[in-house]
A and B are shown apart, each in its own frame.
Chain A
Amino acid sequence: MEEKMLMKGNEAIGEAAIRAGCHFYFGYPITPQSELTAYMAKKLLKMKDAVFVQAESEIAAINMVYGAASTGVRAMTSSSSPGISLKQEGISYIACAELPCVIVNMQRGGPGLGSIQPGQADYFQATKGGGHGDYHLIVLAPSSVQELVDLTMDAFDLADKYTNPAMILGDGLIGQMMEAVEFKERKKINLPDKEGWTLTGCKGREKKYIVPFNLDPYEMEKLNLKIQEKYNKLKEKEVRYETVNLDNADLIIVAYGIVARIAKTVMSNAKKEGINIGLIRPITLFPFPEKIIAETSEKVNKFLVVEMSMGQMVEDVKLAVNGKAEVNFYGRVGGVIPTQSEILTEIKKYLK
């Protein structure tokens, strides 16, 4: 077993990525994720056959990832909210080209230049596509530094498995905080062979090309349907979530990432006052854990969705609940983190 290390969230992502075999990183500085870019520079520039490029822009960085991924290597870029907006064009191309890569978004308060404090207001952008066209990313939402490590490694596997870009959707708080982490020995898993699509030069074979377009609308529709098929498979096989105390709960909190951590404190404080709270914490935001939410809504009739946004994930919760329970929302935005006491006050409003 590996020893535990004390690491900052952003740096832990970097170490996890390198250990997952990602030796190709292209980035651009932005708060609050710059430690990740710096960590990759420090490590990759000293490694053999590894590449670190500080790109001229977020746009260039994601397109470098596109190029590197087309040759079959594990490639990554990272940024925070405004920078992720800039990458959207490239992400749409990569999704259409069906190439695997990992994109990290350590969200900050928005919109516009927003703030540099943590936020969760990029949920729509991350889970609904973000760029133009019908596509989805595999979106993983860690709520601790340990989970940043584990999910970063998983993200590379999932991206390879589904030849689709995967996103780590964290926030400035998880990125900046330090916690003990362990880089566990991972089970070897079988991943599909990349040889069929990688561009390596056409020695001994026919030429290959990667073109994320087709001017024949029927062919383009076929491509859309093929990609859609992957999303259906993801929904069927890769949904992840954590549940706490669902039985006999008076109210269910649905929260992801750092807010779910706060919700756990809310639960134990509420318990002292005789209020029984349950928690559903989506770990995959796409595919969204709609089934467990739907099932729970048959048993518990009050939900409270808490987000650092004006109400984004709450829409997916409402779709899953489908009118079977009352779905309420509480959010703080712009970089403000909700406190456990204000969440508890909110809960009490609905349990009168």
Chain B
Amino acid sequence: MKKVFESPKSLTKDPFTYCPGCHHGIAHRLVAEALDEFGVREKTIGVCPVGCSVFAYVFFDCDMICAAHGRAPAVATGIKRAKPDSIVFTYQGDGDLASIGTAEIVHTANRGENITVIFINNAIYGMTGGQMAPTTLVGQVTQTSPYGRDPKTMGYPIKVAEMLSTLKGVAYISRVALSKPAYILKAKKAIRKAFQSQIEGKGFSLVEILSTCPTNWGLSPIEANKWLEENMIPYYPLGEFKTPEEVS
């Protein structure tokens, strides 16, 4: 019998501990598949953040280090500079990357550090129990925006992919979603391109992944996918914002 589907080598056998309907598991799998396909698992060092995916070090079967909240791009810079032949990726949420870690992500991108950033945007803080993130949509109710995000006092949601794609040192940026199979296939392609760009030494690459947080959104997994498509995608358009061709 021919095997048509298996667990990627770059994932451990540990079962994911993420909530039902959360997209972290899919995102982990796509990253692991890309590492497998490029044959780089044995020279990869991943940097996990503070947040739900602090446990990514358990699930990825490659060398891993945990950074302080928001500092993953700086830690990744240190690793990549010390070991330029390794493949280095960070895996960060929106509180981590777009709030407390804005300085690190902007300057790591601006230096054109040859690393790959997997950025999970689920418009909320997951691990701390559903507070407002910099990516929380206008009007969205969270624990710290209980009457809805009011842009007059809380600002507008940050579009990370668009913002970083203005920087010259950036090689590849795209935004993808995981709410249906067609999107997942596109996300896989984007993640592959991001790692490809690093393998070819083209510079900084980032994939922003729109994800669900059914637990903190207070929705079922199916409703959460629908909410993402109806609310997040219109504000956070999918697509490529920068490709390596534009760099040269």
Which residues of A does B touch, CB under 8 Å?
24, 26, 51, 53, 55-57, 59-61, 63-71, 73, 75, 89-90, 93, 97, 199-204, 207-213
Contact = CB atoms under 8 A, between A and B. Distances in A.
7 contacts: A51-B81, A63-B68, A68-B78, A70-B45, A70-B65, A200-B83, A210-B66
A104 to B, nearest CB: 17
A27 B92 CA distance: 24
B107 A203 contact: no
B78 A213 contact: no
A20 to B, nearest CB: 16
Given A93-B68, A209-B57, A63 B63 contact: no
A212 B71 contact: no
B53 interface: no
Given A56-B107, A90-B71, A208 B79 contact: no
Nearest to A61: B74
Interface string B32-45: 00000000011111
Contacts of A93: 67-68
Interface in B90-131: 103-104, 106-107, 111
Specify the main secondary structure of chain A where it touches its partner. Answer: mixed
Contacts of B79: 67-68, 70-71, 199
A212 B75 contact: no
- Of the listed residues B65, B67, B79, B80, the one surrounded by the most CB atoms of chain A closer than 10 A to its CB is B65
B86 A201 contact: yes
A107 to B, nearest CB: 24
B77 interface: yes
Q: Please name the 5 residue pairs, one residue from A and one from B, whose CB atoms are nearest each other, closest first.
A: A67-B78, A63-B74, A56-B107, A64-B78, A201-B43
A71 B82 contact: yes
Contacts of B83: 71, 200-201
Interface residues of B, number: 37
A60 B86 contact: no
Nearest to B66: A211
Interface of B: 12, 41-45, 47-48, 54, 57, 60-68, 71, 74-83, 86-87, 103-104, 106-107, 111
A75 to B, nearest CB: 7
A43 to B, nearest CB: 16
Given A26-B78, A59-B71, A63-B75, A201 B65 contact: no
B81 to A, nearest CB: 4
B66 A67 contact: no
A66 B75 contact: yes
A207 B10 CA distance: 10
B43 A67 contact: no
A69 to B, nearest CB: 7
Given A68-B81, A210-B65, 9 more contacts: A56-B103, A60-B77, A69-B78, A70-B65, A73-B82, A75-B78, A90-B71, A199-B79, A213-B54
Contact of A57 (B45, B82, B103): B103
Contacts of B45: 70-71, 199-201
A255 to B, nearest CB: 36
A73 to B, nearest CB: 5
A211 B42 CA distance: 19
> Which residue of B48, B63, B103 has the most chain A CB atoms within 10 A of its CB atom?
B63
B78 to A, nearest CB: 3
